[in-house]
Structures are given as structure tokens and as C-alpha cells.
Amino acid sequence: MDGPTSAGVVDAAQLGAELGDRATLVQFSSAFCQPCRATRRTLAEVAGMVEGVAHVEIDAEAHLTLVRGLGISRTPTVLVLDARGRIVRRGVGQPRTVDVVAALGQAM
């Protein structure tokens, strides 16, 4: 996962889902993206292990305004948000569980 980004803050209204109490893992996916399936499993597993962490998956093709606003160019892209929705980490491609857990450390 890459370092902090200046893309700003994402709120529940933009995501169409509530933010986690401690952090939120936002996954941008597309229908025919094979790595997106594995990413979904990894992020859901981590969210299930860490209290207060939510996993939100967004169909990139159905949310083009948000995708463009955040500079998403490939799927899967994962954003790690802190409790206020501030983007603290960003990664492209299928993440490893250890990297997701480490990124959450920066968000909490």
C-alpha cells in the first residue's frame, strides 16, 4: 500500500455506507476483475478480525464521479480511511493481509 495521499476526506454519503467506528477499508472493484474477488475476501477477513473496522466495496463503473474525484484508475484500489473518513493509505492491486493490518495501524 502506498503512503498517505492528499485526496482528502470521504464521507458516508459518498460511500453509500456508514464508516467504521475506528477505520474503513474502501475497495473499488469492477465486474470482471479477478483480483477484486481475492481482495474482497482479504478485506472482509481483516474487517472481521479488527473491531470497529468496516469494509465497503464500491462498483467503480457505477460510481464514476467518485472514482474520478479520488483519482481511481485501476481496480482493485483500496483506500484506508480513519474514523473521520480521512484517507490515510491507498493501494492498487491485490493487497496482502499483513499490509492491510499495517495500514490500519496508521488509521487508528
Per the structure, the count of domains in the chain is: 1
Phi, psi of 90 (to 5 degrees): -145, 135
pLDDT attached to residue 97: 95
> Is residue 3 very low, low, confident or very high in pLDDT (cuts 50, 70, 90)?
very low
Look at residue 39 and tell me if it is in a domain.
yes
Average pLDDT of 92-100? 95
Average pLDDT of 39-43? 97
Average pLDDT of 2-13? 66
Look at residue 6 and tell me if it is in a domain.
no
CATH number for the domain including 81?
3.40.30.10
Look at residue 81 and tell me if it is in a domain.
yes
Look at residue 89 and tell me if it is in a domain.
yes
Position 7 pLDDT exceeds 60: no
Average pLDDT of 9-23? 93
Look at residue 7 and tell me if it is in a domain.
no
Look at residue 2 and tell me if it is in a domain.
no
* Cβ-proximal residues to 89 (8 Å cutoff; 6+ apart), any chain: 1, 2, 3, 4, 5, 79, 80, 103, 106, 107
Look at residue 1 and tell me if it is in a domain.
no
Question: Contact at 8 Å (CB) between 27 and 42?
Answer: no
pLDDT attached to residue 6: 41
Tens-place pLDDT, residues 44-86: 999 999 999 999 999 999 999 999 999 999 999 999 999 999 9
User: Residue 46 sits in which domain range?
Assistant: 12-107
Gap between the Cα atoms of 55 and 69, Å rounded: 20
